[in-house]
Amino acid sequence: MSRVTDRKFRCMKCNEIYGITTYDSVNVTIDYDIKERCLSGDIFHFECPHCHNSYMLSYPCLYHDQENKFMVWLYEDEKVIDAFESSFIEQLISLGYTLRRCTDMNSFIEKIQILDDGLDDRAVEFAKYDSFVDYIENKKRDPKEIEGIYYHGIDNDVLKINIRTIDKGATIMIPYEALLEEINNHKDLFGIDDENFPVIDSRWIIQIFEANQNIS
Ligand SMILES: [Zn+2]
Protein backbone atom coordinates (compact mmCIF):
# COMPACT_ATOMS: atom_id res chain seq x y z
CA MET A 1 0.00 0.00 0.00
CA SER A 2 0.99 3.61 -0.49
CA ARG A 3 1.06 5.74 2.64
CA VAL A 4 -0.09 9.33 2.56
CA THR A 5 -0.10 12.34 4.88
CA ASP A 6 -2.64 15.13 4.76
CA ARG A 7 -1.07 18.50 5.43
CA LYS A 8 -2.12 22.10 5.64
CA PHE A 9 -0.30 24.33 3.26
CA ARG A 10 -0.19 28.11 2.94
CA CYS A 11 -0.13 29.35 -0.66
CA MET A 12 3.03 31.32 -1.37
CA LYS A 13 1.14 33.59 -3.71
CA CYS A 14 -2.29 34.35 -2.18
CA ASN A 15 -1.53 33.30 1.40
CA GLU A 16 -4.69 31.16 1.74
CA ILE A 17 -4.40 27.91 3.67
CA TYR A 18 -5.61 24.64 2.12
CA GLY A 19 -5.09 20.90 2.39
CA ILE A 20 -2.65 18.85 0.33
CA THR A 21 -1.83 15.14 0.31
CA THR A 22 1.77 13.99 0.15
CA TYR A 23 3.06 10.42 -0.26
CA ASP A 24 5.32 9.06 2.49
CA SER A 25 5.70 5.90 0.47
CA VAL A 26 4.40 4.48 -2.76
CA ASN A 27 4.20 0.82 -3.70
CA VAL A 28 3.96 0.64 -7.48
CA THR A 29 3.48 -3.11 -7.50
CA ILE A 30 0.23 -2.84 -5.56
CA ASP A 31 -0.78 0.62 -6.74
CA TYR A 32 0.28 0.69 -10.38
CA ASP A 33 -1.34 4.04 -11.26
CA ILE A 34 0.98 5.88 -8.89
CA LYS A 35 4.01 4.85 -10.95
CA GLU A 36 3.22 7.19 -13.85
CA ARG A 37 2.52 9.97 -11.36
CA CYS A 38 5.99 9.47 -9.89
CA LEU A 39 7.74 9.32 -13.26
CA SER A 40 5.99 12.48 -14.46
CA GLY A 41 6.67 14.26 -11.15
CA ASP A 42 2.91 14.67 -10.67
CA ILE A 43 3.04 13.57 -7.02
CA PHE A 44 5.11 16.70 -6.33
CA HIS A 45 2.87 19.01 -8.29
CA PHE A 46 0.23 21.07 -6.47
CA GLU A 47 -2.20 23.77 -7.34
CA CYS A 48 -3.77 26.32 -5.00
CA PRO A 49 -7.59 25.98 -5.18
CA HIS A 50 -7.94 29.71 -4.42
CA CYS A 51 -5.63 31.45 -6.90
CA HIS A 52 -4.69 28.40 -9.08
CA ASN A 53 -1.00 29.06 -8.67
CA SER A 54 0.79 25.78 -9.39
CA TYR A 55 4.16 24.70 -8.05
CA MET A 56 6.40 21.75 -7.30
CA LEU A 57 6.94 20.75 -3.68
CA SER A 58 9.60 18.25 -2.71
CA TYR A 59 9.06 16.06 0.36
CA PRO A 60 10.45 12.76 1.70
CA CYS A 61 9.06 9.82 -0.25
CA LEU A 62 9.96 6.14 -0.51
CA TYR A 63 9.35 4.51 -3.89
CA HIS A 64 8.98 0.73 -3.72
CA ASP A 65 8.91 -1.64 -6.69
CA GLN A 66 8.46 -5.18 -5.34
CA GLU A 67 8.53 -6.82 -8.73
CA ASN A 68 11.80 -5.27 -9.91
CA LYS A 69 13.15 -5.31 -6.36
CA PHE A 70 14.25 -1.77 -5.73
CA MET A 71 13.54 1.13 -3.43
CA VAL A 72 14.39 4.75 -4.08
CA TRP A 73 14.14 7.08 -1.16
CA LEU A 74 13.84 10.81 -1.67
CA TYR A 75 15.31 12.30 1.44
CA GLU A 76 17.15 15.58 1.09
CA ASP A 77 18.58 16.08 4.54
CA GLU A 78 22.24 15.05 4.74
CA LYS A 79 21.72 14.00 8.35
CA VAL A 80 19.96 10.77 7.46
CA ILE A 81 17.63 9.41 10.07
CA ASP A 82 17.33 5.73 10.90
CA ALA A 83 14.04 5.33 9.14
CA PHE A 84 14.14 1.57 8.73
CA GLU A 85 14.61 -1.42 11.01
CA SER A 86 17.95 -3.12 10.28
CA SER A 87 16.26 -6.54 10.11
CA PHE A 88 13.95 -5.16 7.42
CA ILE A 89 16.93 -3.86 5.40
CA GLU A 90 18.75 -7.19 5.79
CA GLN A 91 15.71 -9.01 4.53
CA LEU A 92 15.48 -6.76 1.45
CA ILE A 93 19.17 -7.22 0.69
CA SER A 94 18.91 -10.99 0.98
CA LEU A 95 16.08 -10.83 -1.55
CA GLY A 96 18.42 -9.01 -3.95
CA TYR A 97 17.05 -5.51 -3.57
CA THR A 98 18.75 -2.36 -4.82
CA LEU A 99 18.38 0.45 -2.26
CA ARG A 100 19.12 4.05 -3.14
CA ARG A 101 18.65 7.49 -1.70
CA CYS A 102 18.29 10.67 -3.74
CA THR A 103 18.74 14.20 -2.47
CA ASP A 104 16.48 16.02 -4.91
CA MET A 105 13.27 15.51 -6.82
CA ASN A 106 14.83 15.35 -10.30
CA SER A 107 17.43 12.76 -9.40
CA PHE A 108 14.69 10.74 -7.64
CA ILE A 109 12.67 10.61 -10.85
CA GLU A 110 15.75 9.86 -12.95
CA LYS A 111 16.82 7.08 -10.57
CA ILE A 112 13.40 5.43 -10.78
CA GLN A 113 13.62 5.52 -14.58
CA ILE A 114 17.09 3.94 -14.58
CA LEU A 115 16.14 1.13 -12.19
CA ASP A 116 12.77 0.64 -13.87
CA ASP A 117 14.65 0.11 -17.16
CA GLY A 118 16.53 -2.68 -15.37
CA LEU A 119 19.91 -0.94 -15.49
CA ASP A 120 22.80 -0.76 -13.08
CA ASP A 121 22.77 2.89 -12.03
CA ARG A 122 26.53 2.86 -11.41
CA ALA A 123 27.06 2.17 -15.13
CA VAL A 124 24.69 5.03 -15.95
CA GLU A 125 26.66 7.43 -13.72
CA PHE A 126 29.79 6.19 -15.45
CA ALA A 127 28.21 6.97 -18.82
CA LYS A 128 27.22 10.44 -17.64
CA TYR A 129 30.79 11.06 -16.49
CA ASP A 130 32.19 9.81 -19.84
CA SER A 131 29.72 12.04 -21.68
CA PHE A 132 30.93 15.03 -19.70
CA VAL A 133 34.59 14.29 -20.47
CA ASP A 134 33.81 13.68 -24.14
CA TYR A 135 31.92 16.94 -24.42
CA ILE A 136 34.68 18.98 -22.77
CA GLU A 137 37.65 17.30 -24.43
CA ASN A 138 36.46 16.41 -27.91
CA LYS A 139 34.00 19.18 -28.53
CA LYS A 140 36.23 21.69 -26.70
CA ARG A 141 33.36 23.18 -24.77
CA ASP A 142 33.49 25.11 -21.54
CA PRO A 143 32.23 23.05 -18.54
CA LYS A 144 30.48 26.18 -17.25
CA GLU A 145 28.07 26.00 -20.20
CA ILE A 146 26.68 22.68 -18.97
CA GLU A 147 23.46 22.94 -16.98
CA GLY A 148 22.91 19.26 -16.43
CA ILE A 149 23.61 15.72 -17.64
CA TYR A 150 20.69 13.31 -17.69
CA TYR A 151 19.85 9.72 -18.49
CA HIS A 152 17.54 9.69 -21.48
CA GLY A 153 17.01 5.99 -22.14
CA ILE A 154 18.50 2.85 -23.59
CA ASP A 155 18.12 1.54 -27.11
CA ASN A 156 19.71 -1.68 -28.40
CA ASP A 157 22.09 -1.75 -25.46
CA VAL A 158 23.24 1.82 -26.09
CA LEU A 159 22.68 4.42 -23.38
CA LYS A 160 21.46 7.82 -24.45
CA ILE A 161 22.81 10.60 -22.25
CA ASN A 162 21.56 14.15 -22.65
CA ILE A 163 23.82 17.08 -21.99
CA ARG A 164 21.84 20.25 -21.47
CA THR A 165 23.71 23.50 -22.07
CA ILE A 166 22.76 27.18 -21.96
CA ASP A 167 22.31 27.33 -25.74
CA LYS A 168 21.11 23.85 -26.74
CA GLY A 169 22.79 20.59 -25.78
CA ALA A 170 23.63 17.20 -27.17
CA THR A 171 22.81 13.53 -26.90
CA ILE A 172 25.74 11.20 -26.40
CA MET A 173 25.45 7.47 -27.10
CA ILE A 174 27.46 5.08 -24.97
CA PRO A 175 27.44 1.25 -25.14
CA TYR A 176 26.08 -0.09 -21.87
CA GLU A 177 27.69 -3.53 -21.68
CA ALA A 178 31.26 -2.21 -21.86
CA LEU A 179 30.65 0.04 -18.87
CA LEU A 180 29.00 -2.73 -16.92
CA GLU A 181 32.00 -4.94 -17.60
CA GLU A 182 34.35 -2.22 -16.41
CA ILE A 183 32.34 -1.88 -13.21
CA ASN A 184 32.27 -5.61 -12.59
CA ASN A 185 36.01 -5.86 -13.25
CA HIS A 186 36.72 -3.18 -10.63
CA LYS A 187 34.57 -4.30 -7.75
CA ASP A 188 37.12 -2.80 -5.37
CA LEU A 189 36.37 0.66 -6.76
CA PHE A 190 32.72 0.50 -7.70
CA GLY A 191 31.46 -1.92 -5.08
CA ILE A 192 28.80 -0.41 -2.84
CA ASP A 193 26.87 -1.40 0.21
CA ASP A 194 23.13 -1.00 -0.26
CA GLU A 195 22.48 -1.23 3.45
CA ASN A 196 22.62 2.50 4.06
CA PHE A 197 20.65 3.59 1.01
CA PRO A 198 23.74 5.04 -0.75
CA VAL A 199 23.48 8.14 -2.93
CA ILE A 200 24.85 7.09 -6.33
CA ASP A 201 25.22 10.30 -8.29
CA SER A 202 27.82 12.42 -10.10
CA ARG A 203 29.61 13.18 -6.82
CA TRP A 204 29.96 9.47 -6.16
CA ILE A 205 31.59 8.73 -9.55
CA ILE A 206 33.81 11.85 -9.52
CA GLN A 207 35.12 10.86 -6.12
CA ILE A 208 36.12 7.43 -7.47
CA PHE A 209 37.93 8.90 -10.47
CA GLU A 210 39.67 11.54 -8.41
CA ALA A 211 40.94 8.96 -5.95
CA ASN A 212 42.11 6.69 -8.77
CA GLN A 213 43.66 8.89 -11.44
CA ASN A 214 45.25 5.90 -13.19
CA ILE A 215 42.03 4.17 -14.27
CA SER A 216 40.52 5.10 -17.58
ZN1 LIG B 1 -3.12 30.67 -3.81
How far apart are the CA of 5 and the centre of ligand 1, in A? 21
* CA distance linking residue 62 with residue 214, whole number of Å: 37
pTM metric for this prediction = 0.93
Give pLDDT tens digits for 95-116: 999 999 999 999 999 999 999 9
Q: Kindly provide the residue ranges of all beta strands, DSSP E only, lying in the chain, ordered along the sequence.
A: 3-10, 17-27, 45-47, 54-56, 61-65, 70-74, 98-102, 146-155, 158-165, 169-175
Give pLDDT tens digits for 47-68: 999 999 999 999 999 999 999 9
How far apart are the CA of 24 and the centre of ligand 1, in A? 24
How far apart are the CA of 53 and the centre of ligand 1, in A? 6
How far apart are the CA of 75 and the centre of ligand 1, in A? 27
How far apart are the CA of 123 and the centre of ligand 1, in A? 43
How far apart are the CA of 74 and the centre of ligand 1, in A? 26
pLDDT of residue 215: 56
How far apart are the CA of 14 and the centre of ligand 1, in A? 4
Q: Where are the domains of the chain?
A: 3-116, 121-211
How far apart are the CA of 55 and the centre of ligand 1, in A? 10
